[in-house]
């Protein structure tokens, strides 16, 4: 387990934190080839560092160290159904080892386009509106082409009013993390913020709880902004139903439970005519490096999780002027 102090308080509508604890796993072989993976537990799904550690030990007892192929690993994980974040860490470590062992790149192993240098959004957590101007200056947020702003019902309008005053016309992702309870209250909020003269919204991310399927169907034709699913899509989804509720999907590898599942979700999103996005948790550059390997399938990237970590330990991703470049291989 690796404790990760954060550069600032990470507050969203349902919780806040100043430190995260992620797990790192390693696959190694006698010839020296190795692969690393990262698990960032998501409390939204009942995942905890201690729980993931216990599940890992159970998998070791069940023969994790003896698997001889990606298919064997998938079968073992299917049988034990560990937390999605742990499943992703294990699968990604194996894929990284496989790429190193066979002289391939990770995208070649996965059958996806090679990653380019991609722009990422940068996230403004919930804070007192009066603190936004100094936060924007301290974090040099003006270098990012796209910003995400976390909101709740209580202060969402004030936060948006202030960010549009400080950085007018900057495209925004408004992320509610399921804070509204019904479509009508959300539509009233949308009507309220539409009066802000410098507001430019790229998308609304999961404003209502995942269970509010009827409200999402009601909202779908009425929202002036694209509505993206986050918590509504984990490792599987009825995409015919998702297409009636959303205009796009934010796929997070930690939430999908692996490269293969994540790629499947992105391809299903595309097949149903929806917009694609790749997101992240608060992660080191190892997890972000992994997400960049599938970024060629995404129209929007929100991969700033490693920029939230104080003294990020690995340096596998370089950010310059809001654009990300991945190292050649995830060597720790």
pLDDT in tens, 55-104: 999 999 999 999 999 999 999 999 999 999 999 999 999 999 999 999 99
**Cβ–Cβ under 8 Å, residues 238 and 262:** no
What is the pLDDT confidence band of residue 33, given thresholds at 50, 70 and 90?
A: confident
Residue-wise burial string across 112-135, b where 16 or more C-beta atoms lie within 10 A, e elsewhere: beebeebebbbbbbbbebeebeeb
Q: Evaluate whether the domain defined by 118-326 bears CATH number 1.10.3720.10.
A: no
Nearest-angstrom CA–CA distance, 76 and 60: 11
Fold of 2-108: Enolase-like; domain 1 (3.30.390)
Rg of the chain over Cα atoms, rounded to whole angstroms, equals: 20
For CA atoms 287, 289, 293, 297, the dihedral sign is: positive
What is the pLDDT confidence band of residue 28, given thresholds at 50, 70 and 90?
A: confident
Q: How many Cβ atoms are within 10 Å of 26's Cβ, its own excluded?
A: 13
Question: What 3-state DSSP class applies to 155?
Answer: coil
Nearest-angstrom CA–CA distance, 98 and 96: 5
**Cβ–Cβ under 8 Å, residues 35 and 26:** yes
Element (H, E) at 93: helix 84-102
Beta strand 200-205 with 171-175: parallel, antiparallel or unpaired? parallel
- Which of 27-41, 91-105, 141-155 shows the lowest mean pLDDT across its residues? 27-41
| Delimiting residues of CATH 3.30.390.10 domain(s) in the chain | 2-108
pTM over 0.85: yes
| Delimiting residues of CATH 3.20.20.120 domain(s) in the chain | 118-326
């Amino acid at each position: 387990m690796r404790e990760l102090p954060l550069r600032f308080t990470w507050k969203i509508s349902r919780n806040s934190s100043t430190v995260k604890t992620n797990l790192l796993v390693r696959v190694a072989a006698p010839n020296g080839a190795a692969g690393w993976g990262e698990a960032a537990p998501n409390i939204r799904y009942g995942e905890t560092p201690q729980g993931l550690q216990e599940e890992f030990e159970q998998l070791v007892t069940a023969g994790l160290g003896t698997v001889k192929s990606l298919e064997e690993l998938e079968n073992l994980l299917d049988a034990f159904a560990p937390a999605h974040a742990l499943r992703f860490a294990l699968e990604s470590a194996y894929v990284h080892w496989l790429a190193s062992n066979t002289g391939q790149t990770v995208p070649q192993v996965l059958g996806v386009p090679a990653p380019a240098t991609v722009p990422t959004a940068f996230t403004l957590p919930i804070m007192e509106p009066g603190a936004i101007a100094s936060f924007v200056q301290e974090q040099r947020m003006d270098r990012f082409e796209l910003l995400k702003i976390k909101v709740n019902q209580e202060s969402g309008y004030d936060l948006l009013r202030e960010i549009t005053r400080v950085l007018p016309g900057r495209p925004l992702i408004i992320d509610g993390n399921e804070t509204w309870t019904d479509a009508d209250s959300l539509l009233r909020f949308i009507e309220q913020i539409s009066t802000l003269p410098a507001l430019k919204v790229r998308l609304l991310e999961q404003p209502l709880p995942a269970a509010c399927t009827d409200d999402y169907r009601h909202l779908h034709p009425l929202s002036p902004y694209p509505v993206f699913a986050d918590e509504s899509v984990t490792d599987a989804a009825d995409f015919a139903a998702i297409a009636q509720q959303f205009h796009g999907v934010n796929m997070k590898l930690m939430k999908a439970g692996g490269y293969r599942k994540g790629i499947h979700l992105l391809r299903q999103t595309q097949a149903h005519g929806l917009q694609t996005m790749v997101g992240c948790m608060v992660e080191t550059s190892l997890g972000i490096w992994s997400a960049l390997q599938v970024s060629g399938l995404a129209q929007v990237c929100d991969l700033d999780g490693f920029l939230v970590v104080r003294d990020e330990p690995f340096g596998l991703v370089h950010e310059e002027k809001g654009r990300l470049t991945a190292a050649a291989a995830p060597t720790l």
